[in-house]
Chains A and B, each alone.
Chain A
Amino acid sequence: MLTLDQATYDAIVAHAKRDHPDEACGIVAGPEGSDRPERYVEMVNAAGSPTFYEFDSTDLFQLYKEMDANGEEPVVVYHSHTATEAYPSRTDIGLASEPNAHYVLVSTREHGNNEGPVEFRSYRIVDGEVTEEEVTVVPELSAR
Chain B
Amino acid sequence: MAIEVRIPTILRTYTGGEKAVTADGASLSALIDDLEAGHPGIKDRLIDNGDLRRFVNVYINDEDVRFIGGLEATLKDGDQVVVLPAVAGGAV
Stretch at the interface among A1-9, A45-53, A114-122: A45-53
Are B64 and A54 in contact, CB atoms less than 8 angstroms apart? no
Are A52 and B90 in contact, CB atoms less than 8 angstroms apart? yes
The size of the chain A interface, using a CB distance under 8 A, is 37
Are A61 and B86 in contact, CB atoms less than 8 angstroms apart? no
| Cα(A84)–Cα(B91), bound, Å | 7
Closest to B57 in A: A57
> Please, which residues of chain A bring their CB within 8 A of the CB of B84?
60-61, 64
Given A92-B90, A97-B8, A99-B9, A58:B64 Cβ within 8 A: yes
Considering the complex, which residues of chain B in the window 39-87 have a beta carbon less than 8 Å from any beta carbon of chain A?
55, 57, 59, 62, 64, 66, 82, 84-87
Q: Does A17 contact B (CB under 8 A)?
A: no
Given A95-B86, A97-B8, A51:B55 Cβ within 8 A: no
Q: Does A35 contact B (CB under 8 A)?
A: no
- The A-B contact count (CB < 8 A) is 83
Q: Does A36 contact B (CB under 8 A)?
A: no
Cβ of B67 to closest chain A Cβ, rounded Å: 9
Cβ of A132 to closest chain B Cβ, rounded Å: 16
Closest to A52 in B: B90
> Please, which residues of chain A bring their CB within 8 A of the CB of B91?
23, 50-52, 81-84, 89, 91
Are B8 and A79 in contact, CB atoms less than 8 angstroms apart? no
Are A98 and B9 in contact, CB atoms less than 8 angstroms apart? yes
Q: Does A55 contact B (CB under 8 A)?
A: yes
Q: Which of B10, B59, B66 contacts A98 (CB 8 A)?
A: B10
Q: Mark A14-47, 1 if CB is under 8 A from B, else 0.
A: 0000000001010100000000000000010001
| Cα(A50)–Cα(B30), bound, Å | 39
Query: Which A residues contact B (CB, under 8 angstroms)?
Result: 23, 25, 27, 43, 47, 49-55, 57-58, 60-61, 64-65, 73-74, 77, 79, 81-84, 88-92, 95-100
